[in-house]
């Protein structure tokens, strides 16, 4: 498709660390892979000071860099603001952007508190009435194998979901000498492993099953309570959790267990999801992200068992836009798939998914986990969800 035959779609990015780099890569590559109705233009990157933002913009492919995100609100070459900052600034930036008539993509978790997430969801609902769209960035929804798992569940291939086991295990904080960062500061991050990676498995569970978590019983722990300052002597307090462990019930009646840890030695990025239903089972591991395991329990027991599906066929979700069968995708491709869906939905006048309301639903589960853990694991219902 010729770029001159399409309207342009100007992007303003806020933040240029890990997520900013991932999103920049996706914005640079999406138009070469997908047939988009609009041509994304990487207009401007915003950081906390002009010099660093300008250097990051040059390195990451943006047209310019500025030291204050508020400048993006007034720019005619910015149609969408992509928020890749720590959670403490999500609400302020997103609400201001939506009120200024800018579409918004906001990284997960949506906010640091339920109150902030509620304000963001309300702003998104008001903006949608004016044709201004928003989406929260749960990128793992765009991993082809997880998207295929959702399709199989929706088709009834595993029947009624009885069990879900969800884990997200990392080890980058297993060393007690790993230094402090903003991710270990509750004021900036909201929570630790719970919000950082636990949010992903909550959303993945609700996405794949099509059901909601209705209540939880939880434990949280911080195993290393002091860590070295990264740029000076001494140590400082860790004010978030290292690990979260909780079980819950789904709206369809099934049971679910969740485990999130950033101190699980030897596990680098192990997001695992297994579903057991009345007709079969599904299993996924992000460290083998092009594979989905499927068991059809209705088959003859002589030959039935888990079968390995290599999710790279043209008919599989997203895979057909990329490489020939057998040529797997990686972590970064999920962001490109996500952005393609975002642009296509906005151009069609539809709300992209997951919406800010979906992000709020995850935030309410996170808050219930913290409340339960603070009350010795007491069963805590999720507000607004029917048991």
Q: Which domains does the chain have, with CATH numbers?
A: 3-139 (3.40.50.720), 142-355+361-381 (3.30.360.10)
Partners of 26 in beta bridges: none
Q: What pLDDT digit, counting tens, does each position of 180-224 carry?
A: 999 999 999 999 999 999 999 999 999 999 999 999 999 999 999
Average pLDDT along the chain: 97
Q: Is the pLDDT of residue 134 over 90?
A: yes
Q: Give the Cα-Cα-Cα angle 47, 186, 14 (nearest 5 degrees).
A: 15
Q: Is the pLDDT of residue 3 over 70?
A: no
pLDDT of res. 384: 85
- The answer to whether the beta carbons of residues 98 and 133 sit under 8 Å apart is no
State how far the Cα of 24 lies from the Cα of 16, in Å rounded to an integer. Answer: 8
pLDDT of res. 63: 98
pLDDT of res. 143: 98
State how far the Cα of 180 lies from the Cα of 44, in Å rounded to an integer. Answer: 30
Partners of 206 in beta bridges: none
pLDDT mean over 135-145? 98
pLDDT mean over 48-66? 97
pLDDT of res. 387: 73
Confidence of residue 5 (pLDDT cuts 50, 70, 90): confident
Q: What pLDDT digit, counting tens, does each position of 314-353 carry?
A: 999 999 999 999 999 999 999 999 999 999 999 999 999 9
Is pLDDT larger for residue 368 or for residue 5? 368
Q: Is the pLDDT of residue 115 over 50?
A: yes
Torsion sign (Cα): 187, 21, 361, 372: negative
Q: Is the pLDDT of residue 170 over 90?
A: yes
Q: Is the pLDDT of residue 2 over 60?
A: no
pLDDT mean over 11-30? 98
Nearest Cα neighbor of 81 from 68, 71, 72 is 72
Q: Is the pLDDT of residue 1 over 70?
A: no
Nearest Cα neighbor of 47 from 79, 76, 73, 84 is 84
Nearest Cα neighbor of 365 from 188, 221, 166 is 166
Confidence of residue 4 (pLDDT cuts 50, 70, 90): low
**Could you tell me the pTM of the whole model?**
0.97
């Amino acid at each position: 498709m010729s770029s001159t035959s399409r309207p342009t779609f100007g992007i303003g990015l806020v933040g240029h660390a890990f997520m900013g780099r991932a999103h920049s890569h996706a914005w640079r590559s999406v138009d070469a892979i997908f047939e988009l109705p609009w041509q994304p233009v990487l207009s401007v990157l915003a950081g906390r000071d002009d010099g660093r933002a300008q250097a990051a913009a040059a390195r990451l492919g943006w047209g310019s860099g500025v030291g204050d995100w508020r400048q993006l609100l007034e720019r005619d070459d910015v149609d969408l603001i992509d928020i890749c900052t720590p959670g403490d600034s999500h609400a302020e930036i997103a609400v201001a952007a939506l009120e200024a008539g800018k579409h918004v993509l906001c990284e997960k978790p949506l906010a640091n508190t339920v109150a902030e997430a509620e304000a963001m969801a309300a702003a998104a609902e008001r903006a949608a009435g004016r044709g201004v769209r928003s989406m929260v960035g749960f990128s793992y929804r765009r991993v082809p194998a997880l998207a295929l798992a959702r399709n199989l569940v929706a088709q009834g291939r595993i029947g009624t979901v009885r069990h879900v086991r969800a884990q997200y295990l990392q080890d980058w904080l297993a060393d007690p000498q790993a230094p402090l960062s903003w991710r270990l500061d509750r004021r900036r991050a909201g929570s630790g492993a719970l919000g950082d990676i636990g949010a992903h498995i909550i959303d993945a569970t609700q996405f794949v099953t099509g059901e909601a978590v209705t209540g939880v019983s939880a434990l949280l722990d911080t195993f290393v309570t002091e860590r070295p300052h990264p740029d000076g002597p001494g140590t400082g307090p860790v004010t978030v959790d290292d690990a979260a462990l909780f079980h819950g019930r789904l709206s369809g009646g099934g049971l679910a267990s969740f485990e999130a840890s950033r101190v699980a030695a030897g596990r680098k990025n192990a997001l695992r999801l297994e579903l057991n239903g009345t007709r079969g089972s599904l299993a996924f591991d992000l460290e083998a992200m092009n594979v989905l395991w499927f068991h059809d329990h209705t088959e003859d027991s002589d030959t039935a068992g888990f079968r390995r599906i290599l999710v790279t066929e043209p008919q599989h979700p997203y895979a057909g836009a990329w490489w020939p069968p057998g040529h797997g995708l990686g972590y970064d491709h999920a962001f490109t798939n996500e952005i393609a869906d975002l642009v296509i939905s906005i151009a069609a006048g539809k709300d992209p998914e997951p919406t800010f309301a979906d992000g709020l639903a995850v935030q309410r589960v996170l808050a219930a986990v913290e409340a339960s853990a603070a009350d010795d694991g007491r069963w805590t219902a999720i507000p607004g969800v029917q048991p």
